[in-house]
Amino acid sequence: MDVRFVPKAPPVTVTERNPEAGASNVALDSTLSATFSQALESGATLKVTGPDGEIPGTSQLGQQGTTVTFTPVSALPESSVLTITPQNIRGVESGAAAIAPWTVHTAGADLQLDSFLGDQVPQTLDPQDTGEVELGMHLAASADLTVHAIRYYRGSTGSGASSGSLWDTQGNLLATTTFGPATTPGWYTAYLSTPVAISNGEQFTVSYHAPNGGYVVTGADFANGKDNAALSLSGSNGLFAYGPGSRPSNSWNNSNYFVDLLYSVNQAPAARQAPDEPSSVEQASDAPAETTAPAAPPTGAPQTTGDPEPTQPSPTATPTADGGETPTPTPDDTDGVVPQPSRPPEASEQ
């Protein structure tokens, strides 16, 4: 008797979300849905949570078996962050699958959200670094403001589930959020479940975690500083920390790693409480210390040249590989920061 082995179908993935991850001004009478890459077994649902917990509603699997639609029993809460989580997802051909949640923001009071980097795009979409790393920038507020969301630019080789975080100057975590699945290069946004108030004069760090590297960069982009009416860069930037997520405090070349935030001015929620216990990562001053770069590239590396003229590729542009290797700085651990691996994220402009 001949034995035939039938290969198992690939795992179920989401092919469409409605509204998309990071959407804002979602109508209060909206239904929410997700479409999947293959037919699902019965029992699939969407769990929707808001500021007061789970939102009552019903989930229905479409006739083709690929789309799950959530219909709330009443209007969605206004001016609120909603987290949409697919549950009991089992492909008819592939079995159970874990699908990451995503967040959206509903319509409501007229709230103007601004970002620090706007629609800027990076010069390098693939620095050829696959190390787990936290990347960020250090900011100072020049107005009372509220942070509502964190955004980052996904590179052409980015993979894995990314998260965004806000940190105070002592390394305490103020807020964190998880980004929805990303498939193409471009900006991605995740809202904070509870907005964070930042006072005029306060300094803080915004960062995102790249579990498998694949980040983006424009080298020396912050060398001359950057500011607007509400925020400005503070201290050394091009911040990074290799390994599991922690406040990035090593710096490299004032690089821009394209992590950003959405904020409103003079829209502060209730004052946050101090953390129960301090973080093990502390900083002697408000600004992270500059990491000293070596005088020459590692042995055997191609000799580098001066900074090229920045370009402005579209978010879907295909990057060219960078042939140079990353210089290896010596971390400055005199400020009490836990030492990080010696190499910085690669900046092709070096």
Same domain, 190 and 224: yes
Check whether residue 81 and residue 212 sit in a common domain.
Answer: no
Q: Strand, coil or helix: what is 198? A: strand
Pair of tokens at residue 121:
């795009």
- Do residues 217 and 346 touch, judged by C-beta distance below 8 A? yes
* Residue 167 within a domain: yes
**CA proximity to 204, closest of 242, 150, 270:** 150
φ, ψ for residue 10, nearest 5 deg: -65, 155
Total residue count of the chain as it appears in this document: 350
Q: Is residue 184 part of a domain?
A: yes
Residues 119 and 261 in one domain: yes
Domain membership of residue 274 (yes or no) is no
- Three-state DSSP string of 100-144: CCEEEEECCCCCCCEECCCCCCCCECCCCCCCCEEEEEEEEECCC
Q: Which amino acid is at 254?
A: N
Per-residue pLDDT of the chain (350 residues), as tens digits, is 555 555 677 889 999 999 998 888 899 999 999 999 999 999 999 999 998 899 999 999 999 999 999 999 999 999 889 999 999 999 999 999 988 889 999 988 777 889 999 999 999 999 899 999 999 999 999 999 999 999 999 988 888 889 999 999 999 999 999 888 777 899 999 999 889 999 999 999 999 999 999 999 999 999 999 999 999 999 989 999 999 878 999 999 999 999 999 999 974 444 444 444 333 333 333 434 343 332 222 222 223 333 333 333 333 333 333 333 333 333 333 333 333 333 456 544 44
| Domain span holding position 47 | 14-105
Torsions phi, psi for 2 (to 5 deg): -80, 140
- Angle (CA) 282-151-346 rounded to 5° is 65
Please indicate, yes or no, if residue 332 is contained in any of the structural domains.
no
Q: Do residues 62 and 203 share a domain?
A: no
d(CA 266, CA 260): 19
Question: Are residues 60 and 77 both part of a single domain?
Answer: yes
**Same domain? 261 vs 133:** yes
| Total structural domains within the chain | 2
Q: What residue type is assigned to position 14 of the chain?
A: V
Structure tokens at 340: 């990080």
Is residue 336 one of the residues assigned to a domain?
A: no
End-to-end Cα, the chain, rounded Å: 64
Tokens representing residue 100 in the block: 């990451």
Please report whether residue 320 resides in a domain. no
Q: Tell me, what CATH number does 91's domain have?
A: 2.60.40.3780
Q: Which of 88, 105, 122 marks a domain boundary?
A: 105
